[in-house]
Structure 1
Amino acid sequence: MLAATGASAQTQGAEARAAALVAKMTLAEKVSQLQNDAPAIPRLGVPAYDWWNEGLHGHARDGYATVFPQAIGLAASWDAPLLRAVGGTVSVEARASFNMAGAGKAHARYQGLTIWSPNINIDRDPRWGRGQETYGEDPVLAGSLAVAFVRGIQGDDARHPRAIATPKHFVAHSGPETGRDSFDAVVSPHDLEDTYLPAFRAAVTAGGAGSVMCSYNALDGVPMCANAALLGTRLRKDWGFAGYVVSDCDAVGDISSFHHYKPDDEQAAVAALRAGTDLDCGHTYAGLAAAVRKGLLPGSALDTALVRLFSARYRLGELGGDETYAQLGANDIDSAAHRKLALRAAQESLVLLKNAHGTLPLRGSPRLAVIGPDADTLETLEANYHGVARAPVTPLQGLRERFGNGAVSYAQGAPVAAGVPIPVPETALRTPNGTAGLDGEYYANTDFGGAAKLSRIDRRIDFDWDRAAPATGLAADHYAVRWNGELLPPGPGDYTLAVHVDRCFDCSAHDAVRLFVDGKPVLADEGDDRHMQAKLHFADGKPHALRMELVHRSQDGGVRLQWLAPPAVQLAEADRAMQAADAVVAFVGLSPDVEGEALQIEVPGFAGGDRTSLDLPAPQRALLEHAAASGKPLVVVLMSGGAVALDWAKQHADAILAAWYPGQAGGTAIAQALAGDTDPAGRLPVTFYRSVRDLPPFTSYAMQGRTYRYFRGTPLYPFGYGLSYTRFAYAAPTLSAPALKAGETLQASAELRNTGTRAGDEVVQVYLDTPPSPWSPRHALVGFRRVHLAPGESRRVSFILSARDVSSVDAAGTRAVEPGDYRVFIGGGQPGDAAGVASTFTIDGKEVLAP
């Protein structure tokens, strides 16, 4: 075990201790430790440890945690210090969870200190369903936020990290989801160096990331987890990376099974280990023992990877004897300070896209009609790769809390997309005593025996209980719930009732669910995934007795009672909600049910988690048109992980606010912004295109025609765009020198002033125009900073541009500072799209930069 000595002695000895430990292992023990679910080695005092943990926007999949806005929402803040604070919270809560299991004890999946985040792939195409997990389309924005997040996760002591961050997926991995295990990304040397590598380079060289994850895809025919040129030469030699490389899950097996790069798993494992993949998320590395015995691989190759892995475990103190972070525990999970940070993050993520006639902020005491499929659902707060929010606030709840229950009427109005069930709203559920919702009885057993441990009214059945107890006094791994009440169809027609259970990845059994309408069983899923939808016809709007039972004894993580209601009936219900309103707030967009990782969905506009159209789904478009016909001011709040072509809303809505998937405090933040309590000041981290027709083929990884840097058309809303409730002006630009020698740095600054009547944030953006060449982007972001100013306050904002900041990449992928004339723009968005100031300078000579 690691002795409790000073930090310096501990960390200086980590590699030596790891080497000594590995030298005592048998071949079978060594191979077992190269797989993510590494078993214990009792004779050597090594506890079991699963390397798999997640922390994309909060500590994930291990019960209650602080849930921040999805990564794309965090990116919309354009606030690197915020990202560092969020990363710090992720690792504090992960360390607290780790401590609760016990240092030096076995740690199962999601209980460890090795965090497989952030996802810093470039969101090159809005059709990619996992673009929501990234920091957007620009390599400088993504790299800067990645550095901050990585530093936050790992803490201030590089020799003694609070946790280890794992930037992923290295490299050129951004869709399509269908076929991702065999996809071959063909990338030019220019695009690889110019677009796909910079964020990873920054995360490693400036962020000090202790780990990197290699991706599923091949790059120009070579599977990434077997790509020695990038894992060995570029990552380790050129960038000085000294950590360990972990594969995406089952990516080593993909080398043979899907890429057919090697004939069998044994040779796939050899290829991956030789290339520099130290840890297999999966079990393909089990074949390494036979490979060593056959002489296909020297045992020393295993030792190299193992020393890297055990050095990390020693530095983390995971093997015991380290008290550096021992004080962290249950009180540090979703603490008051963390909840406050989640609200701040949600506030900063909001992007005001339109505000005609000063519609926002809402004035006085307006009566509001809240409509739309995203107004009151948990999944559009939490997104994917999330923890369990203890007290999430949906937009409907937030508006009720801010404006008063009596001032808010509500109707769901539409599903997210045709054929995609959505949680049954509170308006269609009623308890026996007439309250909205259902009576819930919670039992501390799985047979509904004895008295219920807890009784309460649940507004709707839309719960995330992933490794979390539904209530105090219940265990997280076994309980039963019975809901009783009435279903109130808003009108006659054909309905589909559905039950969605968040299934665990690798458990042998699933939770049983039973649904009864008018005393008759309509769904009876006994944990086998069958019969999860039932079609019912209601001749009128009379209430129907409803009972639902859930028996939880697996690792499944939550339950939703969903429906598809007749479109005309839902629109009529929206009409009734809007009749007495002064304004309509429509929460529309997407959901993690239609965009995400490897989803099993094929409906109009969506396929396999990706999108085939950028349009707002037709049922929601019809709802917006219906709302506009009411003649009431229409505020559209877009909730999504990707860009949506809101062309109709841009023309007809009075205001548009992009809220992304805003996390546990999303409803509060949205209500505050609509009321004017806060100033929405986020900026788009991606381009909003008008149509897929404006884009190259999804499968093409060439950057020409993509992102603001290489797109020559007119976007719906440009990268970097965002409005404010106040106004800002720029003046007096200065450069440290009108001419530089290649390799010198440049200081650029400008005077920023809040010329409005209220305090607010401005996101100052710096763009560079380089000497023209066939490979030059239109312009490129080289710096940014979020600045808060009071009314009338001024501040000079300065940026230091390094040689790398002003460099260019040629066709061969060589990065160099080129001679010629340059233009630097400082403003609130891109040149031509926002107010700002510009200056020019020249560079003499040429300097080639290291990769």
Structure 2
Amino acid sequence: MRKSFLFILVFILFNTLLFGQKQTYKFQKTNLSFEERSVDLVSQLTLEEKVAQMMNTAPAIPRLGIPAYNWWNEVLHGVARTSYHVTVYPQAIAMAATFDPDALNRMADYSALEGRAIYNDAIASGKAGERYVGLTYWTPNINIFRDPRWGRGQETYGEDPYLTGTLGKSFVKGLQGDDPKYLKAAACAKHYAVHSGPESLRHVFDVSPSDYDLWDTYLPAFKELVVNASVAGVMCAYNAFKGQPCCGSDQLMMDILRNQWKFKGYVTSDCWAIDDFFKNHKTHPDAASASADAVFHGTDIDCGTSAYLALVDAVKQGIITESQIDVSVRRLFMIRFRLGMFDPVAMVQYAQTPKSVIESEDHQAHALKMAQESIVLLKNENNTLPLSKNIKKIAVLGPNADNSISILGNYNGTPSNIVTALKGIKEKVGNQVEVTYEAAINFTNDFEGEGKDSSGVGSNEKAHFAALVNRVKDADVIVFVGGISPQLEGEEMKVDYEGFNGGDRTSIQLPRVQTRLMKALQETGKPVVFVMMTGSAIAIPWEAEHIPAIVNAWYGGQSAGTAIANVLFGDYNPSGRLPVTFYKADADLPAFENYSMDNRTYRYFKGKALYPFGYGLSYTTFAYTWKQQPAKKEYKGKDKISCTIKISNTGLMDGSEVVQAYIEYPQTNTVLPLKELRQFDHVFINKAGSKELNIEIPVEALKKWSTEKKELRLVPGDYHLIIGSHSSDKKLSFAFKLIE
């Protein structure tokens, strides 16, 4: 406590010296609006100084007392890539599996506080211009996870626009804070707007989705964050869109973002995306023309090293005017003013955040809470789970059993303490239970180079598995912790194993060696529990049929192992739900490069999923009944579909249910989705207890793009409101019509 007080005192004294000097310029007057101050500050700059401020590494301007600032920072699931130890929450896709906006809001709040403490300490240490200490976070990633092969899908909130927008809005509100004047931190919606792999082509491909798919799938979450969450920043993507690089797109950047949505915040390019204009897309001859065009389209920052520096020549050549440069620079300083960077600490509550908040008890407890809420119980045959704590021996196997890299995901920070699955299980059962551990295999194949039989199995593998089975056959239960890892999937990676390429996956099938091992383990006759870690959907048809218990634990963050153990032994009743469809096989998927939504995600997929979107089991059971059905059978544009339902816990354990309300669309119009999520509620109910929930869906939310009218319009016809525990569940149903 004394250290925190001393830190604040020193910081305030430092700030007093900085801001206590005579106010020479208008922009230094704190009684003026941020707009007035930004205009004045920019008016003091030379052209060269303005252009330099448009790089992510904005240099200091000593003559005006402007410190250096690096815009590049990340906070995907906790402050990322910093040299400080920080709280690391579950990966974004795992947080989406909680279906808990309040939990995401708190996680963002806590992360922003830790980021503030790091920034304050960096200022006091003279390191405020370094990367990964600033207050402008290039998060959240709200691209739609349209294809499970995309390695960066783990950074998103899944395949559904409504879920993504709802969770993204909660994140932004938590991160940016509720102060009427100052931002706690600045969030950034990325990658605007149609971007989801392949990673190997992201610098060159040109995507041209239909206007229907654009407005139905790719834009809703961005609109939610820009229009309703007041997100501070937007990052434009690498790829081209309808022939123009995204950062220079007429439709995305000018027509939609700035004109229709009235976005007043800043836009940054993805890193080195401006270079792609002239180096990869070949849409511009050089850096000067590319940079000028990006600025024309409202891209204020070049995350890169040199492209925007050519703006000085572009002005001198008459390609762009200095007044157009001024617009971008004013937007950038507006963000810095809103973050309180030029005001005394005493005026900015967030600037007084001490280092003691980093990895505080509340933050670590919340990381565990979210890890537990994210775990999805996919199968539990004959109540294999929860395990008894009275067993004598557990065999823990698999490449993820003691893998600290997997649980931290990507775009991650580093916590002081990491609990792997093995560590969590050992801590749970204590010394009275024998726990044996072997990695047994790697993720893809430990037996390269040996001769294989017709089934692809080598003699060395057979011998290895036979010996392993002999060693674990006396265990009471075998826990295999497998799946995949951020070592295999992620951003533009140099990975070339079977089923993986460049950060993406070439197959959604669980690596075959893992299935073969589980087949061998099953021969012991002992119950096998499959704990799967992944950032995306994995096809596990054999496991779904033969393994008695399957738990999807994602990349669960610093407390993943504790959360897994709590679920396995019944100290936490699982409530996670799938934010993506788990397909049966690669054959269910269209071509990866095809951005059409036809037959993609639960909204348009016409096949039968292995595990549907929104799916997840519990150790208890729930019953749904109507309390009050919707009052009308016909609705118009300004109406709301309202009803009340009662959810009862009919099992033997307290637990949480994720109640999901879907709209089924008429299929007379073939482009309409089959169904889509329009409301969800994460509710805790004691055993034998019940809760009432109000469902309220604005009819206007059901508008779809009209190719004829070139706008979003309601489609008249027969609809259904479906309420249940996942997208294929119909516990309650109500038919209604939409009329013009």
TM-score for both structures, normalised by structure 2: 0.92
Q: State whether structure 2 residue 567 is matched by structure 1 residue 673.
A: yes
How big is the shift at 1:413? 1.0
Superimposed CA distance per residue, residues 58-80 of structure 1 (whole angstroms, 9 cap, x where no aligned partner): 00011311111100000000011
Distance 1:570 1:150, change over 3 A: farther
- Structure 2 match to 1:793: 689
- Which segments of 5 or more consecutive residues in structure 2 lack a partner in the other structure? 1-17, 24-28, 451-458
- The residue aligned with 1:308 is 331
User: Is the CA contact 1:380–1:592 (under 8 Å) kept in the aligned structure 2?
Assistant: yes
Distance in 1 between the 2:211 and 2:20 partners? 48
Instruction: Output aligned runs, 1:318-357, within 5 Å.
Output: 318-322=341-345, 323-357=348-382
Partner of 2:735: 840
Residue of structure 2 equivalent to 1:273: 295
- The residue correspondences of 1:572-583 to structure 2 (distance < 5 A) are 574-583=468-477
Displacement of 1:829 after TM fit?
1.1
Aligned residue in 1 for 2:441:
414
Contact 2:368 2:563 in 1 (8 A): yes
The worse-fitting range, judged by mean Cα deviation, of 794-803 and 169-178 is 794-803
Contact 1:354 1:657 in 2 (8 A): yes
Would the aligned equivalents of 1:688 and 1:719 in 2 still touch at CA under 8 Å? yes
Structure 2 contact 119–128 (Cα < 8 Å) conserved: no
Q: Deviations over 1:743-767 (max 9, x none)?
A: 2222233111111111101001010
Secondary structure, counterpart of 2:351 in structure 1: coil
From 815, 820, 826, the counterpart of 2:717: 820
Q: Cα distance, 1:318 vs. partner?
A: 1.9
Which residue number corresponds to residue 511 of structure 1?
none
Question: How big is the shift at 1:121?
Answer: 0.3
Matched residue, 2:524: 630
User: Take 1:419 and 1:320, find their aligned partners in 2: how far apart are those partners?
Assistant: 58
- Equivalent-residue separation in structure 2 for 1:632 and 1:354 (angstroms): 17
**Structure 2 residue 418 is the aligned partner of structure 1 residue 392:** yes
Contact 1:599 1:608 in 2 (8 A): yes
Instruction: Please name the residue that 2:10 is paired with.
Output: none
1:297 to 320, 345, 350: 320
1:171-210 superposed Cα distances (whole Å, 9 cap, x missing partner)? 1100000021111112100000000000101111121101
The verdict on how the C-alpha distance between 1:386 and 1:573 changes in structure 2, with shifts beyond 3 A counting, is farther
Unaligned residue ranges in structure 1 (runs of 5+)? 422-492, 495-564, 846-851
Write the letter of the residue equivalent to 1:383. Answer: G
* Cα contact 1:34–1:306 (8 A) shared by 2: yes
Alignment of 1:214 with 2:241, yes or no, is no
Aligned equivalents of 2:614 and 2:439: distance in 1? 32
Tell me the secondary structure at the aligned position of residue 699 of structure 2: coil
Q: Do structure 1's residue 360 and structure 2's residue 406 form an aligned pair?
A: no
1:566-589 superposed Cα distances (whole Å, 9 cap, x missing partner)? 745753563254122111111010
**Distance change in 2, residues 1:656/1:295 (3 Å):** same
Q: Where does residue 560 of structure 1 map in the other structure?
A: none
1:520-553 Cα distance to aligned partner (Å, 9 max, x none): xxxxxxxxxxxxxxxxxxxxxxxxxxxxxxxxxx
Deviations 1:635-673 (A, max 9, x none): 101101111111111011010000000000000000000
Q: Residue 12 of structure 2 corresponds to which residue in structure 1? A: none
State the match for 1:661 in structure 2.
555
Q: Shift of residue 736 of structure 1?
A: 4.0
Report the Cα distance in structure 2 between the residues aligned to 1:342 and 1:154, rounded to whole angstroms. Answer: 20
State the Cα distance separating 1:107 from its structure 2 match: 2.6
Q: Are 1:83 and 2:101 matched, yes or no?
A: no
Q: Which moved more, 1:813-822 or 1:601-610?
A: 813-822
The change in CA–CA distance for 1:239 and 1:348 in structure 2 (over 3 A counts) is same
Q: CA RMSD in A?
A: 2.0
Task: Determine the structure 1 residue equivalent to 2:167.
Answer: 145
Displacement of 1:284 in angstroms is 0.8
Pair 1:767 & 2:642 matched: no
Q: Tell me, yes or no, if structure 1 residue 24 matches structure 2 residue 24.
A: no
- The 1:752/1:404 distance shift into structure 2, 3 A limit, reads same
In structure 2, the partner of 1:202 is: 224
- Which amino acid is 2:87 matched to? T
Q: Structure 1 residue 228: deviation in Å? A: 2.8
Structure 1, 325-334 or 695-704: larger mean CA deviation: 325-334
Q: Corresponding residue for 1:754?
A: 649
Corresponding residue SS for 2:362 = helix
- Are the aligned partners of 2:372 and 2:567 in contact in 1 as well (CA < 8 Å)? yes
Give the Cα–Cα distance (whole angstroms) in 2 for the partners of residues 113 and 144 of structure 1. 23
For 1:19 and 1:569, locate their aligned partners in 2 and report how far apart those are by CA, in whole Å: 74
Preserved contact between residue 591 and residue 640 of structure 1 (Cα < 8 Å): yes
**Mapped contact 1:360–1:675 kept (Cα < 8 A):** yes
Counterpart Cα distance in 2 of 1:677 and 1:361: 9
> Are the counterparts in 1 of residues 250 and 297 from structure 2 also a CA contact under 8 Å?
yes
Check conservation: 2:466, 2:520, Cα contact below 8 A: no
Q: Are the equivalent residues in 1 in contact too, given 2:30–2:343 (CA < 8 A)? A: no
Q: Which of 737, 761, 783 is the matching residue for 2:679?
A: 783
Rounded Cα–Cα distance in structure 2 between residues aligned with 1:76 and 1:253:
36
Count of aligned pairs between the two proteins = 699
Q: Give the 3 Å change call, closer, same or farther, for CA 573–57 of structure 1 in structure 2.
A: farther
> Which of residues 137, 145, 152 is equivalent to 1:130?
152
Is 1:683 aligned to residue 577 of structure 2? Answer: yes
Structure number having the greater helix percentage: 2
- In the alignment, the residues of structure 2 paired with residue 22 and residue 718 of structure 1 have an alpha-carbon distance, to the nearest angstrom, of 53
> Over residues 785-805 of structure 1, what are the superposed CA-to-partner deviations in whole Å (9 max), with x where a residue is unaligned?
101000121111112212332
Alignment of 1:224-623 (within 5 A): 224-282=246-304, 283-322=306-345, 323-366=348-391, 367-405=393-431, 406-418=433-445, 567=461, 571=465, 574-623=468-517
Fraction of identical pairs, as percent: 43
2:93 corresponding residue in structure 1: 72
In 2 relative to 1, CA 736–313 (structure 1 residues): closer, same or farther, beyond 3 Å?
farther
Q: Residue 167 of structure 1 corresponds to which residue in structure 2?
A: 189
